Chain A
């Protein structure tokens, strides 16, 4: 089963490698991992997407909780949640037909063109991983020059929040 684990960590050097090291040392899967500082600059927020049986995911959350740098942790897939991923994709768009086709597609997917050159577009798209995959599938594979994906960011819906006070 796929799980999204959301964590608040001390914003300290080495915190990321403690998490990455834990996953490799214990043979856990990481599908994606994102980390960035929060509004409180002493904290960073990490989102890990992992897969495993319930028993393994239980161990993963316990082992992560045991890391001294981890302040708070939640498996947000346990409740209602929203997940988003950002993708930047560079396409080779030489002919007017291809440009038109790409513009139509990006409209449908509610993305934006954020850079234009004589031969290329860079598009920006957000959504669930599935939506981004669907876009890639819809575009002619031959014109894709590069894709960059941020990995999943997730947040629980409603009153639930992963904060210091709550």
Chain B
């Protein structure tokens, strides 16, 4: 088949099985937009800002496990996309971002809307390409999808100069069916001897702990992890990125760990003698002070990325491989290893349940002000724990992570690594397009939502019935919390003045707006909102502005140095 470069881009996306492209047109991609116009297999979603395009593609990827796709123009189109690319990079989300570039002959001449997109994105992509020949478009896109979705996933940028998509130059088109790259072949199968060593250690554990992260979800290994955990009967904690990798409602689940993790999860981490880390990367928000991290534990680490192993914390038994493969093998062999002493495990659980009984997530349920925790709990109940929940970054993100007990993977969508405010709304757009019938809630704050609020327009254009749950405390809450704790309550520039009337704002976009000011109205409002199946409802919950996220481990402290709310200090 003879096609021009622009048609090759679109046809390649179609042959790759891409449903949606999130993008924004501009000079350097006009040929590609013309090609998009002539077909309807690949659906283009017009965002209001390129950052929105990347987050929406990212949200789509997180909600499906498939690669998200963006199309932006050169120069500002590409630079606006950078935040979203970095967001996907830090959380290892598969994404292919096509950026237009000025004509090959103009590259390096400071031409109109020229930036070195490959150079700018290099530190925040898994890989990137500059396509200089129309004959290379299809094979480069194939490689881009292959690299983005295999091994440890990540974003791949493909920069295409305008002349390469010239409608008048036609070449033979064939989309490659496979890729063979001598420089890239991720390990998937774990080393058998390491697996045996790990199983021996696992079965001899007296105070075991499973610590699983986003890698479980990326690998699609939630079933294998659940089987593994339940066969062993060991306690399991999830990282912020790993929530939903194990059912949050199960008795073996001790909650999230880390800076705002539960008391029981962090104490169990500190006291465990064998730690089984699965698809987690020992991030500083999880480990706290690495010198006092799991001081008594032998550590097993399963991860597909060799560079994750012993990066922050030295581990004793590394297993490099795809978690799904490795856990399947471990599950098959578990039967031949039996735990030496069930008494030890029972004692360990008694200890954990003692920690659990402190009810570290307790909050004042009699308050006359709306407690943010109550909103999330009610959201959980109203949606039966089955909604796709995206979030922005800050206190609301932590409350969503603590109080929405995710039962299954792909449902909790947040910017864990980069911590990008403005992520939630566009990510919800991506998730809703991926699951048109599902309930999608964006849990946000009045500060975060304003960072990409223009995407309310996108949601209207495509009639996406998102439910925006804004916990409005008139502060950048997490900044305010740190200023209260560490800067003697000097609230430097963390107060949100001149807030818009969110109800009117939502209405001006054609959506439904609600303001909720009393605890008694929370449940009714959420039920009413979710009953409106066809409409986006923007709920502005006026919450207690003094509420802080607890428990908390201050940055650089150990897991057993947790703070509870001031009136509920723990020993």
Contacts and interface: CB of A to CB of B under 8 A. Distances in A.
A55 B310 contact: yes
A59 B307 CA distance: 6
Contacts of B307: 59, 62-63, 65-66
Contacts of A55: 310, 314
A14 B118 contact: yes
Contacts of B311: 59
B183 A70 contact: yes
A13 B147 CA distance: 18
Interface in A2-27: 9-10, 13-14, 17-18, 21, 25
Given A10-B183, A62-B306, A164-B182, A68 B127 contact: yes
B183 A14 contact: no
Interface in B305-362: 305-307, 309-311, 314
A21 B147 contact: no
A18 B181 CA distance: 18
A162 interface: no
Interface residues of A, number: 20
Contacts of B184: 68
Interface string B119-133: 100110011001000
A156 B182 CA distance: 22
Main SS of the interface on chain A?
Answer: helix
Contacts of B119: 14, 17
B122 A18 contact: yes
Nearest to A69: B183
A68 B181 contact: yes
B147 A68 contact: yes
A63 B126 CA distance: 12
A10 to B, nearest CB: 6
Contacts of A14: 118-119, 122, 130
B407 to A, nearest CB: 34
Nearest to B118: A14
Contacts of A18: 122
Contacts of B306: 62, 65-66
The 6 A-B pairs of least Cβ separation, nearest first, read A62-B307, A68-B127, A71-B183, A68-B184, A62-B306, A25-B123
Interface of A: 9-10, 13-14, 17-18, 21, 25, 55, 58-59, 62-63, 65-66, 68-71, 164
